[in-house]
Structures are given as structure tokens and as C-alpha cells.
């Protein structure tokens, strides 16, 4: 519901829904420049930015928290060309907001009239500490590489740029990262393999930057509990990203749960094809990290399907592909609305099985992140999914994406965060 901030607690983390606010047409007169064309283009974005952060700040204050407790924010812009106006209002009006940050363009997938929406994760017990890595500063500029609180590490979205800020274009650009080896499987493809080589190199550059950020925060790639990726290209081009992941993690059991989707737009340039954020645990932490090789579902990629850090549980992204039928559930329907019914129920059961494998009951499901191809399916998806997950009352983040997997007939991807029952 617009403007309504819903907060849920999982362990010592506070999770929000996706928040957007319709502005009053006469509100925030100080944002009006008097230049008609400029105001017509960006005034609503600035007004909505202010309203969203005011609403979130008020909701946090009600539970005794402030912006200094926010670890990570994910910002959905209707148009990435509004990035400058959004960040200006944030820096001017909310200077205490310094979380790790991910920004992408959602395009027309946001509700009509909405220019910006925000979701967040905060610490219920400690102030967020900003972590910066000089080596990887350009990869998250102007945001910190990461924030930490207690045992947790949250990174900003990391983009594939060298320390000098240049976008990585090929494996030759990986020299600054030292011991990262190029993925060679695309070399026999010749010139036609250039696209795949470039994507693999960019993924390796992201990992190279992320490793430096995690080390500065007291962690490493082996301490990750979740990764989320946002890409420009169609998910049929996911193979080189997977190849890069396989080259760094020797087994799937060492790779954290992952969700990767194609969004409408990214920054900082058209040459950067992907960005990834991560959640990790500090080395030597009191919080025990367990990656669960669940037999409940077969992962769709080279990663574990579910991970548990203390009592907080993260699942990988789930799709409606069934190995039992060798295809997508509901793909035989001649209408997407009809197909949504079996897909929603199938995916909800897979998510429930993953959570159960990690000790999470339906009432312990605290957030669901759904990546929909069509926001018009939102209401039906919610009803079907929550019927299947009886007893669950999660905060929900809905993101409209261009693509969410290699199966064109999959209507959405779903992952979640939960709290395991205490023994």
C-alpha cells in the first residue's frame, strides 16, 4: 500500500517492504525552481523522494531507531536519468542517511505516477559503521563500499570498474585485481565470443572489488550468506556470469544463495552490464554461518539454495521450473493469468521447503522479494502465495523486471528472508 511502511524483525535485522508515496500537488514549494521545463521534468521525483524518506524515518523512530541504524537501502527509480535529482535531495535533506546502497531503474514497472520507491534493512541493536575500500571506491561511488553492525556486512551494489573508474571491457582489464584469472572457455569462440568474454570479465571485476570491500569490513567471499544481481542483458546471457562464479568458488556448497534478474536500467554507464550486492558475516563472528545443501529443491545455478546466519535465513531465487515434468509449471496454459495460478503455488511450496530445511516455520518468514515480469500480476500473486504460506505475514518487496531466468514462460522469481525458530 503506498506510503505504508511495514517493518519486520528477523534476528537483529529490521526489514521493510517497498515504500512509495504519492505527493500532494502543492507540497514542498521550496523544491520548485521557477523554471517550468525543469520543474515539469523532475519536481515529482524530488517531492516523492522527500516524502518516502520522511515516511521511513518516522516508521523507524516509532521503534526507537534512526537513519544511523540503516545498513542497506535499495532504490527503485522510474527513470535512471533522475538519479542526480534523487541523490541531491537525499544528500541535502537527509545527510544522516549513509547506508550501503543499490540503485537501478525499474521503468514503467513502478505503479503509475511513482518516480521512486525505497526498501531497507536496518540493525535493531547497533549503529551502522561505514566501510570504505580505497581500491574499490570507484565501484560504489558515491556510496560506501559496505556498512557493518555487529556481525553483519552489507555491501553497496558493486559495478565492474577498475580502481581508476574505467569499466572493465575484457579479461585484459583484470590485471589490477592480482590473482583473479580470466575465464578461458570463451576464447575458442573467436570474435563472436567477445560478448561472453566481456560479461565474464565484468563479473570477475565485481568479485575483485567485492573481495577488497569485504576484507576492509572484516569478511571475505567465503563469509557471504546472499548475493543479489541486477543486469542489463537478457538472462540467456547468464552463462558467462555463471562461469565466473564457478572459477572463484570451487564447489556450489561454497557459493552463497543468489538471485539475478534483468532490470530496465543501471548506472553508471551503458558499458557496465551488471552490478551485484552481497550480505556477509565477519570472520570470527559469534554468528554461525551455515550453507544448507537442501534436498528440498535443486538449485538453478552454481550456488547453495539456502543459508543460515545465526537465526536469520536467506533463500536463493526460486522459479516455476520443475525437473519432474522437465519444464515450467503452467506453461501449457494459453493465458499468463491462468499460468500464474500453478506457478505461484509451486514456487511458494519450494520456498516453504527451503525455509523448513533451515528451521523456519511460515510465521517466521519475514520478507518476500518477488521479481515480476508484469506488475499487473501483483495482487493475484500475493493472494495465491500467502494462501499457500498460511500463517506468514512478511513485508513484501515487488520489483518489475524484464527477465528473471532462462525460462521465458516463468512469470516471476521469488526469494525470502526468515527467522528460524529458536531451539
Quick: pLDDT tens for 9-52. Answer: 999 999 999 999 987 655 676 666 556 655 556 888 999 999 99
**Shared-domain flag, residues 145 and 5:** no
Give first-to-last CA distance, the chain, whole Å: 35
**Shared-domain flag, residues 122 and 145:** no
How many domains does the structure of the chain reveal? 3
Q: What is the pLDDT of residue 60?
A: 97
**Shared-domain flag, residues 280 and 337:** no
**Shared-domain flag, residues 319 and 341:** yes
Q: What does pLDDT average to over the chain?
A: 91
Residues of the chain with pLDDT under 50: 1-2
Distance between CA atoms of residues 215 and 175, nearest Å: 19
Residue 122: closest CA among 164, 68, 70? 70
For residue 176, give the CATH number of its domain.
3.30.1330.40
Cell 583473479 belongs to which residue?
180
Can you give the pTM of this predicted structure? 0.94
Residue 217: closest CA among 261, 153, 263, 168? 153
**Shared-domain flag, residues 102 and 229:** no
**Shared-domain flag, residues 233 and 144:** yes
Q: Are 191 and 233 in contact (CB under 8 A)?
A: no
**Shared-domain flag, residues 329 and 423:** yes
**Shared-domain flag, residues 82 and 189:** no
Q: Identify the domain containing residue 388 by its residue range.
A: 296-423
Q: Point out the domain boundary residue: 260, 287, 314.
A: 287
Q: Point out the domain boundary residue: 99, 127, 155.
A: 127
**Shared-domain flag, residues 260 and 121:** no
- The total number of residues shown for the chain amounts to 423
CA-to-CA separations, 150 to 56, 129, 295, 299, in angstroms, rounded = 22, 9, 32, 30
**Sign of the dihedral defined by the CA atoms of residues 294, 300, 304, 306, in that order:** negative
Q: Point out the domain boundary residue: 268, 287, 306.
A: 287
Quick: pLDDT tens for 253-280. Answer: 889 999 999 999 997 678 899 999 999 9
Q: What is the pLDDT of residue 34?
A: 54
Residue 28: closest CA among 53, 5, 46? 46
Q: What is the pLDDT of residue 1?
A: 47
**Shared-domain flag, residues 231 and 323:** no
Q: Which residues contact 277 (CB under 8 A, 6 or more apart)?
A: 72, 74, 100, 102, 154, 155, 156, 157, 158, 227, 228
**Shared-domain flag, residues 321 and 416:** yes
For residue 187, which phi and psi values (nearest 5 degrees)? -60, -40
**Shared-domain flag, residues 13 and 149:** no
Amino acid at each position: 500500500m503506498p506510503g505504508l511502511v511495514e517493518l519486520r524483525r528477523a534476528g537483529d535485522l529490521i526489514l521493510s517492504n517497498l515504500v512509495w508515496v504519492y505527493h500532494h500537488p502543492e507540497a514542498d514549494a521550496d523544491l520548485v525552481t521557477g523554471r517550468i521545463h525543469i520543474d515539469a521534468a523532475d519536481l515529482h521525483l524530488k517531492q516523492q523522494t522527500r516524502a518516502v524518506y520522511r515516511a521511513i524515518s518516522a516508521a523507524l523512530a516509532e521503534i526507537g531507531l534512526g537513519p544511523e541504524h540503516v545498513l542497506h537501502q535499495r532504490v527503485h527509480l522510474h527513470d535512471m536519468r533522475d538519479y542526480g535529482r534523487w541523490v541531491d535531495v537525499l544528500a541535502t535533506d537527509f545527510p544522516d542517511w549513509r547506508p550501503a546502497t543499490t540503485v537501478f531503474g525499474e521503468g514503467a514497472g513502478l505503479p503509475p505516477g511513482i518516480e521512486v520507491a525505497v526498501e531497507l534493512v536496518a540493525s535493531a541493536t547497533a549503529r551502522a559503521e561505514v566501510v570504505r575500500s580505497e581500491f574499490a571506491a570507484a565501484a560504489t561511488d558515491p556510496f560506501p563500499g559496505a556498512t557493518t553492525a555487529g556481525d553483519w556486512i552489507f555491501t553497496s551494489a558493486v559495478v565492474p570498474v577498475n580502481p581508476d573508474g574505467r569499466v572493465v571491457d575484457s579479461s585484459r582489464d583484470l590485471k589490477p585485481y592480482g590473482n583473479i584469472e580470466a575465464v578461458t572457455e570463451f576464447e575458442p569462440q573467436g570474435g563472436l565470443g567477445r560478448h561472453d568474454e566481456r560479461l565474464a570479465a565484468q563479473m570477475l571485476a565485481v568479485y575483485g572489488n567485492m573481495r577488497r570491500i569485504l576484507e576492509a569490513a572484516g569478511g571475505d567471499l567465503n563469509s557471504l550468506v546472499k548475493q543479489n544481481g541486477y543486469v542489463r542483458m537478457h538472462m540467456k546471457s547468464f552463462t558467462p556470469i555463471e562461469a565466473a562464479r564457478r572459477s572463484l568458488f570451487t564447489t556450489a556448497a561454497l557459493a552463497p544463495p543468489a538471485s539475478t534478474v534483468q532490470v530496465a536500467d543501471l548506472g553508471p554507464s551503458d558499458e557496465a552490464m551488471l552490478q551485484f550486492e552481497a550480505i556477509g558475516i565477519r570472520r570470527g563472528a559469534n554468528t554461525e554461518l551455515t550453507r544448507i545443501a537442501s534436498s528440498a529443491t535443486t538449485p538453478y545455478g552454481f550456488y547453495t539454495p539456502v543459508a543460515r546466519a545465526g537465526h536469520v535465513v536467506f533463500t536463493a531465487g526460486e522459479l516455476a521450473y520443475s525437473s519432474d515434468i522437465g519444464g515450467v509449471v503452467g506453461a501449457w496454459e494459453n493465458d499468463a493469468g491462468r499460468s500464474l495460478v500453478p506457478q505461484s503455488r509451486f514456487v511458494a511450496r519450494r520456498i516453504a521447503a527451503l525455509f523448513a530445511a533451515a528451521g523456519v516455520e511460515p510465521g517466521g518468514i519475514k520478507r518476500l522479494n518477488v521479481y515480476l515480469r508484469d506488475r499487473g500480476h501483483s495482487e493475484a500473486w500475493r493472494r495465491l502465495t500467502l494462501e499457500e504460506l498460511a500463517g506468514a505475514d512478511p513485508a513484501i518487496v515487488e520489483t518489475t523486471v524484464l527477465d528473471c531466468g532462462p525460462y521465458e514462460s516463468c512469470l516471476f522469481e521469488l526469494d525470502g528472508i526468515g527467522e528460524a525458530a529458536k531451539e
